[in-house]
Amino acid sequence: MAGSLEWDCWETVEHLSDDLFAYAVQLGPRTPPLDGEVPFVWESRRSGGPKNAVHADRTAGPAGLLHVLEATGALLVAMVRTTPSQVRAYHGFGVSDPEGFAAMGIVETLVHTDDLAEGLGLTWTAPADICSRVLTRLFPDAPRTTEPWPTLLWATGRAELPGRPRLTTWRWNGAPRSSIADATTGELPHKAG
CB atoms within 10 A of CB 127: 11
Rounded Cα gap, residues 149 and 153, in angstroms? 6
Rounded Cα gap, residues 134 and 5, in angstroms? 22
pTM of the model: 0.89
User: Residues near 74 by Cβ (< 8 Å), separated by ≥ 6?
Assistant: none
Annotated domain spans of the chain: 9-180
CB atoms within 10 A of CB 38: 16
Rg (CA), the chain: 17
- Give the number of residues written for the chain: 193
pLDDT in tens, the chain (193 residues): 887 888 999 999 999 999 999 999 999 999 999 999 999 999 999 999 999 999 999 999 999 999 999 999 999 999 999 999 999 999 999 999 999 999 999 999 999 999 999 999 999 999 999 999 999 999 999 999 999 999 999 999 999 999 999 999 999 999 998 744 433 344 444 333 3
Q: What is the largest CA-CA distance in the chain?
A: 53
Give ∠ CA 7-116-58 in degrees, rounded to 5: 60
Tens of pLDDT along 144-176?
999 999 999 999 999 999 999 999 999 999 999
